Structure 1
């Protein structure tokens, strides 16, 4: 007979935390740490600000855990908090640093290799190249916010249509339309550049060759 402690469901862990077992919170959020950070980084553009946003999102989720309703996934609720925190921080920064709006965005070269992994136009080996990853990162950053949000949730975090709609408080039809437009924008931006990168150099025909 197995005497090990039964594995608790996510709902049971949440109930235990609300009841006072706060030490379980890290166990609850551990599976979502990467997703929260990626979403924060996609908005903040640099690692330090993304880490601050992620940390604040986890803190706010903990403080408001008793208000979480089980009719949505905890991960969906957590991502919603992260997006709101990122948007609020960007608004605060824009007020404080209006004079910096014309400066080029900080490009630290960090991007998830998983971006666009379902696109047939981009071979998987190409995505591993730093030059290609940088192009993808910049292209995603240029998407209007409403399209970037849907693209990241659906194609990067792999939330389903219903979860994405819940996270962004929009209709399912809006999710589908925005995702289609985001993909079209990225294709238009990236395909010509990727073709240029992957085009073999012209051979110089020398008289003695």
Structure 2
């Protein structure tokens, strides 16, 4: 009896075959997940060459440690963890690079202590985590992610883009679950502010009101 076509098997079935030395099964797993892992690595590292390296390292590491994969999580989640670790390792090696942050968009005013009101009112209601799945918005979101502070970007990518749970995200990044929730909220607010500025109607721009003292 001939072996079934790898393309018709589930990830779990392919993992079992790959653990038994079937390289065709592992190649099919790589084909299925390569683009997604590259996209994740590209969004984390913000560098095409680094993303390619992370993708290659991810699948080499997965193949090398496949016997250690307990299958308590999905193969996709396991790959995400390997790729994120590899990408974080690259980020930690970077020294003295200028960073662009959206922190100022939602940081309290140093004089009043108030969080700035959005400058534009947008004609859309979807949350950033919903917009990530719309092709026409994805490029704008990627641009916004590129400006987001790294600690917020990573949480947003893992939680809202990759769909990991708060617990999984916390474990992967070495944070508390509370910290993950706080950073995720901050990321969503900053992304909403950025997309509002891009998609908002200039005619509905809110001008700051001068304070009148008696």
TM-score range, shorter chain: 0.5 to 0.7
Alignment of 1:64-143 (within 5 A): 64-92=65-93, 94-95=94-95, 98=96, 101-102=97-98, 116=128, 118-119=130-131, 127=137, 133-134=139-140, 136-143=141-148
TM-score by length of 1: 0.66
With over 3 angstroms needed to count, the CA separation of the structure-2 counterparts of 1:163 and 1:199, relative to structure 1, is: same
- How many residues align? The count is 173
171 and 73 in structure 1: CA distance in 2 versus 1, 3 angstrom threshold: farther
Task: Flag the 1:38–1:163 CA change in 2: closer, same or farther, 3 A.
Answer: same
Q: Counterpart of 1:22?
A: 23
Contact 1:80/1:168, CA 8 A, preserved across alignment: no
Instruction: Name the structure 2 match of 1:204.
Output: none
Instruction: Decide which of 144, 151, 175 is 2:149's aligned counterpart.
Output: 144
More off after superposition, 166-175 vs 66-75: 166-175
Range moving further from structure 2, 20-29 or 54-63: 20-29
Distance 1:59 1:47, change over 3 A: same
**Counterparts in 2 of 1:4 and 1:16: CA distance versus 1, 3 Å:** closer
Closer/same/farther in 2, CA of residues 55 and 145 from structure 1, 3 Å limit: same
Deviation at 1:187, TM superposition (A): 1.8
In 2: Cα distance, 1:172 partner to 1:16 partner: 35
Pair 103,8 (structure 1): closer, same or farther in 2 beyond 3 Å:
closer
Which range is displaced more, 152-161 or 50-59? 152-161
- Structure 2 unpaired stretches of 5+: 101-126, 204-214
- Give the Cα separation in 2 of the matches to 1:27 and 1:125: 26
**Offset at 1:178?**
2.6
**Distance (Å, rounded) in 2 between the aligned partners of 1:12 and 1:125:** 31
Q: Corresponding residue for 1:203?
A: none
Rounded to whole Å, the distance in 2 between the matches of 1:171 and 1:14 is: 31
RMSD: 3.3
Aligned to 1:38: 39
**Residues 193-208 of structure 1: matches in 2 within 5 Å?**
193-195=198-200, 198-199=201-202
Q: Partners of 1:73 and 1:141 in 2: how far apart? A: 28
Q: Secondary structure at the match of 2:70?
A: coil
Distance 1:32 1:159 in 2: 16
Residues 161 and 176, structure 1, Cα contact 8 Å, conserved in 2: yes
